[in-house]
Structure formats: C-alpha cells, structure tokens
Structure 1
C-alpha cells in the first residue's frame, strides 16, 4: 500500500482476552503502508510481563485448576488507565482512533468515558459495547450468544481463581481443536499453533464482570464504528447486532457506523491487510 492520506492518524489498538500487543503486529505493518501510525497497548496482566500460574510450564501442570491467579486484584479501572495513558501520549496527532477487540471493549469504553477529549473515533472489532448493558458477561450469557463455541475452554472456577483461565498449551487434541474452532477457525492450520501458544492463560475476572458506565455527554459524543465479524464463533453475529442496536437505542444522537468483515473472531490473524483497510475511513 502506498496511500499516504492517513499520515495524521494514529490508531491505539486494544487487544481482547488472553491476547497482547504482539498479536496486532501484522495489522500494524499493513497500517504503516497507509501512512497511519499505530500503538498497541498491553492491558494489565497481559503480554510478556503477564504472570503465569506457577505450574503452567511444568510437567503435569500442577495447580492449574485451583491456583489463585496473580491477576485476581486487577481492576477495570486499572485496565482503562493503561489505555488513557497511551491516548495521552499520542494526542499530538490530528486524528486519534481507539480500536478495541472483543473483551478489550470494556477498558477502551471506560477510557473514552474518562477522557473523551483524547479520542476522535472508537472502532469496536467484534468487541463489547457497554451502551445497552454494563457488563460483557451480560452479553456473553445472552440468548443471542447461545450458539457461541468455547464453553468448555474455561478451567476451574473463575470466581475462586480471580481469573477466567484457559490452557493454550493443552496437550488434549479435543481442547486444542475447540480453541481453534472458537477463535481461529479461518487461520491456516499450520499457523494456528503459533498463534495459540502466544496466548496467556489468565484474564482478570474484572474484565468481563465489572460494569462499565458510559454517558451521552462523554462516551456518547465520540464517533463510533462497529466492525462485525460475519462468521464469528466466539461472539456471534446475533449478539454483535444486539450490542449495536442497544447502544444506538440508548445513545441515538450518535449511532454506529457498521461494517462487516468476512471470517471469524480474529481477523488480525486471518486477514490483517483487510482489517487494516477497514479500520480507516
């Protein structure tokens, strides 16, 4: 790509559950070809500095189902502040686009509510929108999401662990196949193992369970785009449409611009160039 019409734009990229800034790298390379700058955020408890359960890398995986997560005390407010901090650093750009994937919609939305003057547009990539219901869990458990896959991936009791724990390194072929079919079904099989092994096992339980309150005067004044993933098996198109409809009903003055992408929940892995094109006007 040689288009340089986006040289005044910076995108702040917020990952979803168990992911990190690293998974945005292919998309960032594609964005660079348009002239747009980008910065990927590591939310607390994610990335290379994320603490792991003590038995996660040991033979037999001791304690994996029962050991309390070191991320149990991470709050939604701390996650949002990590986003706000990055937004402050990049505000020098003419246009700042905040992009959230999946569970990252909670921290990104709260960041926009706290500092709307730092954001020109929010893009939700098959991401949680708190406009209609305050918790991501409220949508994950809705009838519209009943056909979603991945219900056998969670280990142990999230409330007791303080985290929603998965096992990206599982030796169980059935578990690995469910992980692939849920999040990466359209990623070539020879690349899937590389993507899954880059995931972290723990998502702080505050991310799906904490309410995020947004207002018309702050979050509601920011232009919003929703990128639907048409074959999403983790967050169904039906529940994506529900979030859009409920947010538009609650905040009718600034309805979503909606675009649809082909494929599943992780276009940054399956088709990053197509995603980069969709993130920009």
Structure 2
C-alpha cells in the first residue's frame, strides 16, 4: 500500500459532553488515509485524567447523586484555553480546521473568537453555535429541541453538584437503554457497551451555562460549516437548524455551509469513515 501524501491540513477535534479525545480515534485513522493530520483535545475535566466522584467506581456507587463535583470550579475560559493551546501548536500547517462536537461548540467558538488567526475553518458537528444565543442551555430549552431525549439521565441537582452528572456505569438496564437511545442508537449494542464505559460522569456546569459572545470581526470572519445529524436524539435536528439560522442572521456576511449526515448524535462511533469523508470535503 502506498504511503498517503500529506495534505497540509490538520484537524483539531474537540469532543462533546462526557466524552474525551478518545472518541475521535477511529475518525482520525480514517482521516490519515488521505494524508490529513489530526489532533484530538481533552477538555478540562474529561479523559483519563478526569477526577471522578469518589463513589463512582465502588459497589453501590455511594454518594453519586449528591457529592459535589471536583470539576465545579472549571470555567469556560479553562476549556477555551485548552483548545487554544493545541491551535497554537499546529499553526505551522497550511490549513487548520477546528471541529467541535455537541457541547464542545462553546469552548471551540470562544477559542476561535479569541484567536481567529489560528483557525482557517470551523466545523460544528451537531454542536452548539453561540451566534444567535450565547449559552447552550438557551437552545436546549427551545420548542425546537422538545423531542430531544436524555433529560432523565441527569442525576441530582446540577447547581448543587456544579456539574451535569450522568451514570454511564449504571446497573439499571432501563437507564442504559435510555443512554444508548439518546446518544448511540445506531451503534451496535456490543460496541456501545465499550463506548459508555469510557464516558466520564461529570460535565462541568460552566460549559453549557456560560455565555459566549462572538463578534463579526473575529469569529464571524472564519469560514464555517455545520454537519447536521439527521436522526439526532440528543440535539434535535430542528434545534440544529435553529442555531444555524440564528447565527446566519447575526453574521450574514459569512453564512454556514451545511451538510447533513445520516444517523445519530455520535457518528464517530457509528460511521467514522463517513464522518472523516465529510470532514475531508
């Protein structure tokens, strides 16, 4: 097999809630085929170094609904800086494409706003776009997102916990079924069990609730693409369309290029080769 010719493009991949850099591994392998480089970011509080609630891995998971998260003090600034640190390291590539999934759209957008010279294109994969409304929760609560699932997955009081907590290791089959139906309904069950075991339980509350303010002179000048997930049950397609439309109204000089992918909120699990092809376009 011939070696791929480097394209001069690097993809900086930002995961969504409860995930990590590892979610992108299969997509990165597919991107490497045509010669594209890629770097996946671990946002603070995610990945193998993320601190867990003390009872999470113990029998019976004591205190899981009530123990305050050790991520409660993390801010959107911390998360944006993690993205910026990677962008600075890869700027020597001819083209830098910043890709954000789901809740990762907030940190990625703030990073692009602060340093637009580091980004040649930004891609939102069923991701939060703060162009029209500054907080992710402002879209999650819209009528357009009323069909979305997953609210029953949240444990405890997010304000008291300082995080939106889920339980990927729950012993309750009904809970696990809801987790799969919300995020991974088109991923085979045997593979989903591996995926859920790698999820972190806490999403720092700052990520969905902190306002992100964008400007036409900075974020607005970056070419942008939205990859819609047509059968998304975690962020309804109508809510995705609302974010696109409101961002385009707020920044009409540089509207989104929009493509639609089949399937769920998690194409990196169900069809990574197709996702890589969409990114490579």
The Cα of 1:91 is off from its aligned counterpart by 0.1
Equivalence for 2:221: 221
Aligned residue in 1 for 2:235? 235
* Equivalent residues in 2 for 1:44-59, closer than 5 Å: 44-59=44-59
| C-alpha distance 63-126 of structure 1, shift in aligned 2 (>3 A) | same
TM-score, normalised to structure 1, is: 0.98
**Deviation digits for residues 59-105 of structure 1 (CA, Å, limit 9, x no counterpart):** 11111000000000000010000000000000000000000000000
Offset, 1:192: 0.8
1:276 counterpart residue number: 276
- In the TM superposition, residue 155 of structure 1 has moved relative to its aligned partner by 0.2
Q: Is 1:119 matched with 2:126?
A: no
Q: 1:106 maps to what in 2?
A: 106
2:254 aligned counterpart, secondary structure: coil
2:163 corresponds to: 163
1:242-257 alignment, distance < 5 Å: 242-257=242-257
Q: Cα offset for 1:10?
A: 0.1
Structure 1 residue aligned with 2:82: 82
**Cα distance in structure 2, aligned partners of 1:6 and 1:232:** 33
Is the Cα contact below 8 Å between 1:2 and 1:33 reproduced in 2?
Answer: no
In 2: Cα distance, 1:190 partner to 1:173 partner? 14
Tell me, yes or no, if the aligned pair for 1:3 and 1:34 is still in contact at 8 Å.
Answer: no
Aligned equivalent of 2:194: 194
Give the number of equivalent residue pairs. 281
What does residue 9 of structure 1 align with? 9
How far apart in 1 are the matches of 2:143 and 2:50?
33
CA apart distance, 1:212:
0.3
After TM superposition, give the deviation of residue 280 of structure 1 in Å.
2.0
Stretches of structure 2 lacking an aligned partner (at least 5 in a row): none
Q: Which runs of at least 4 in structure 1 moved beyond 2 Å after TM superposition?
A: 1-6
| Per-residue CA distance 1:139-178 (angstroms, 9 max, x = gap) | 0111100010101000000000000000000000000000
Instruction: Name the SS for the 1:231 alignment partner.
Output: coil
Q: For structure 1, list consecutive stretches of 5 or more residues without a partner in the other structure.
A: none
CA distance in 2: counterparts of 1:5 and 1:18, whole angstroms: 34
Task: Report how far residue 2 of structure 1 moved.
Answer: 7.2
Pairwise CA distance, 1:3: 9.6
C-alpha distance in structure 1 between counterparts of 2:274 and 2:2, whole Å: 15
